[in-house]
A = this chain, B = another copy of it.
Amino acid sequence: MDTNRIEAFSDGVFAIAITLLVLEFKIPAIETLGLGLLRLWPSYLAYAMSFIVVGAIWINHHTMFDWIVRADQKLLLLNTLHLMFIAFLPFPTAVLAEAFHTSSSQDVATAFYAGTLTLIGVLATAMWRYAASQRELLDPAVSPEQAKAIEKRFLIGPIGYGVATILAFINPWLSIALFIGINAFYLWPRRFRVTA
């Protein structure tokens, strides 16, 4: 099976998941609108973070499917599970914003958010490992050494987010700083092209 439709379908899920993030915003009590809008800062932060995270995952997904040229049933299943956690992201995002808004359970909320991102990263890495193990799914131009180097790059996500999940119980802000670092790594212009 050729990968065009999988990419188009995945793009649809990415675009919708990213756009549904806005639904977490609730209109504040109107008598103090200016202040109410300012007090929503945890929602703005959570929205921006999730938007950028999904943007970075989308870029990684595309990069992966530049190298994967064919799909079999197992890859399709892994991709569906990957999308399942991406489409789930608006919920941990809302939980995170609410916890910082009410200043309570910030550790659990941050760990829940980071845990979701860890699973997204694990599934992305699993997809790549599987594709790399079935050489007929990969573009023949990708050498085994390059496949290894790409795998290392993909591993940064789940490992980094896994550490962030644990860090959340020590200090949620430290965990959030790590999210920002991971995304800066993935999105930073210079670092983008892997040349193994």
* A interface residue numbers (CB < 8 A to B): 5, 7-9, 11-23, 25, 27, 30-31, 33-34, 37, 47-48, 51-52, 55, 58-59, 62, 72-74, 76-77, 80, 83-84, 87-91, 94-95, 98-99, 102, 104-105, 108-109, 112, 187-189, 192
Contact pick for A51, options B27, B84, B99, CB 8 Å:
B84
A87 touching B33, Cβ below 8 Å: no
Copies in the complex: 4
**Chain B residues, Cβ within 8 Å of A9:** 11, 14-15, 58
A27 touching B104, Cβ below 8 Å: no
**Chain B residues, Cβ within 8 Å of A98:** 27, 30
Report the bound CA distance from A105 to B29 in whole Å.
11
Closest Cβ of chain B to A46, distance in Å, is: 12
Report the bound CA distance from A37 to B73 in whole Å.
32
Contact pick for A88, options B13, B16, B47, B76, CB 8 Å:
B47
Report the bound CA distance from A17 to B13 in whole Å.
10
**Chain B residues, Cβ within 8 Å of A188:** 73
In the complex formed, the residue of B with least CB distance to A34 is B108
**Chain B residues, Cβ within 8 Å of A74:** 189
Closest Cβ of chain B to A35, distance in Å, is: 9
Report the bound CA distance from A18 to B13 in whole Å.
8
**Chain B residues, Cβ within 8 Å of A94:** 25, 27
Report the bound CA distance from A99 to B2 in whole Å.
41
A16 touching B14, Cβ below 8 Å: no
Closest Cβ of chain B to A14, distance in Å, is: 7
